[in-house]
Amino acid sequence: MQGKILVVSDIHGNIHALERVVESVRGWDRIVVLGDLVDYGPRPAEVIDYLREHDALIVRGNHDHAVAYGVDCRCGEKTHWLSVWFRENITSKLLDEGDKEFLARLPTRENADLGSIKALLVHAAPRNPLYSYLHPWLGDEEVCSMLRPSARLRGRGRGCDGVSGVYLVGHTHIQFLRTVNGALVVNPGSVGQPRDGDPRAAYAVIDGDGRVAFGRVKYDVDPVIRDLEALGIKGPYLEALKVMLREGRVPNPPPGVVRG
Residue 178 is assigned to a structural domain of this protein: yes
- Alpha-carbon distance 222 to 33, whole Å? 25
Confidence (pTM): 0.93
- What's the alpha-carbon Rg for the chain, to the nearest Å? 18
H helix and E strand count, the chain: 9, 10
Residue 101 is assigned to a structural domain of this protein: yes
Residue 9 is assigned to a structural domain of this protein: yes
For residue 124, what pLDDT band results from cuts at 50, 70 and 90?
Answer: very high
Q: Report pLDDT digits (tens) over 242-257.
A: 999 999 999 988 876 6
The domain total for the chain is 1
Q: Report how far apart, in Å, the C-alpha atoms of 106 and of each of 102, 109, 111 are.
A: 7, 9, 13
Residue 252 is assigned to a structural domain of this protein: no
Residue 256 is assigned to a structural domain of this protein: no
Q: Report pLDDT digits (tens) over 3-22.
A: 899 999 999 999 999 999 99
pLDDT at position 167 over 60: yes
Domain around 243: 5-247
In the predicted model, what is the mean pLDDT of residues 100-126?
Answer: 94
In the predicted model, what is the mean pLDDT of residues 23-38?
Answer: 96
Considering only residues 123 and 161, tell me which one the structure prediction assigns the higher pLDDT.
123
Mean per-residue pLDDT of the chain? 92
Residue 260 is assigned to a structural domain of this protein: no
| Side-by-side strand order, sheet with 109-114 | 109-114, 117-122, 164-168, 182-188, 175-180
> Measured over all CA atoms, what is the biggest interatomic distance in the chain, rounded to whole angstroms?
55
pLDDT for 220: 97
Residue 161 is assigned to a structural domain of this protein: yes
- Alpha-carbon distance 159 to 143, whole Å? 10
Q: By C-alpha distance, which of 196, 190, 242, 191 is closest to 221?
A: 242
pLDDT for 153: 38
For residue 159, what pLDDT band results from cuts at 50, 70 and 90?
Answer: low
Q: What is the CATH number of the domain that holds 91?
A: 3.60.21.10
Residue 257 is assigned to a structural domain of this protein: no
pLDDT for 152: 41
In the predicted model, what is the mean pLDDT of residues 203-210?
Answer: 92
